[in-house]
Structure 1
Amino acid sequence: MLIYTNDPAMKNILSENGENLFSIEKSENFSLETPIQLSQYLIILIHKGEGIYHADFASFNFSGPTLLFSTPLQTIYIEQLKNIEYTVLKFHGDFYCIEAHREEVACNGLLFNNIYLEPSIIISEQQHNDFNKLLLHLEEELADPHSSEMILKAYLQVILAKCSTAKLRTMEKDIVTTSKDEKMEQFRILLDEKYLILRKPNDYAQILSISPNTLTKKSIKYFGKTPTQLIQDRLILEAKKQLHLTTRSIKEIAYLLQFNDEHYFSRFFKKYTQISPQTFRNKGGISQVAYLSK
Structure 2
Amino acid sequence: MAQKLKVNDKLSNSGQLLKVAPFRSYIRKTAPHRHNGYFEIIYLNQGSGSHTIDGVTYAIQPPILFMMQKEQMHHWDIHTEPKGYVLIVKKAFFQDSLDSVLQELLFKLSGYTILENIEHQQLHPLFTLLEEELNTSSPYQQSNLEGLLKALFGRCLSYASQQAEKKDISNSLFLAYKKLIEQEDYRLQNIKDYAALLHTSPQNLNHACRKAVQLSASDYLAEELIREAKRLLLYTDMSVAEIGFHLHFSDPSHFSKYFKRYTQVTPKNFRSEKG
TM-score normalised to structure 2 length? 0.53
**What number of residue pairs does the alignment pair up?**
183
Task: State the 1:152 CA deviation.
Answer: 1.0
Matched, 1:37 2:31: no
Partner of 2:250: 260
Which structure 2 residues correspond to residues 62-101 of structure 1 after superposition, within 5 A?
Answer: 62-96=60-94
Q: Show the counterpart of 2:22.
A: 26
Structure 1 match to 2:215: 190
Structure 1 unaligned spans of 5+:
1-11, 175-184, 200-228, 237-253, 269-294
Gaps of at least 5 residues in structure 2 are: 1-9, 168-209, 231-244, 259-275
1:169 maps to amino acid:
Q
Give the Cα separation in 1 of the matches to 2:47 and 2:25.
17
Q: Is the 8 A contact 1:67 1:123 kept in 2?
A: no
What is the aligned counterpart of 2:131 among 127, 134, 139? 139
Q: Do 2:47 and 2:80's aligned partners in 1 also have CA atoms closer than 8 Å?
A: yes
How far did 1:132 drift? Answer: 0.5
**2:142 counterpart residue number:** 149
Q: CA deviation at 1:133?
A: 0.5
Q: Does 1:123 align with 2:120?
A: no
Percent of matched pairs sharing the same residue: 20
**1:55 counterpart letter in structure 2:** I
Q: Tell me the TM-score normalized by structure 1.
A: 0.50
Amino acid across the alignment from 1:232: I
Q: Give the equivalent residue in structure 2 for 1:5.
A: none
Q: How far does the alpha carbon of each residue in 1:99-155 deviate from its partner, in whole angstroms, 9 at most, with x for none?
A: x9775565566532x4xx6x111134xx21111111111122112122522211221
Q: Is the 8 A contact 1:192 1:234 kept in 2?
A: no
Q: Go from structure 1 to structure 2 and tell me whether the alpha carbon gap of 1:190 and 1:68 turns closer, same or farther (over 3 Å shift).
A: closer
Q: Distance in 1 between matches of 2:99 and 2:164?
A: 22
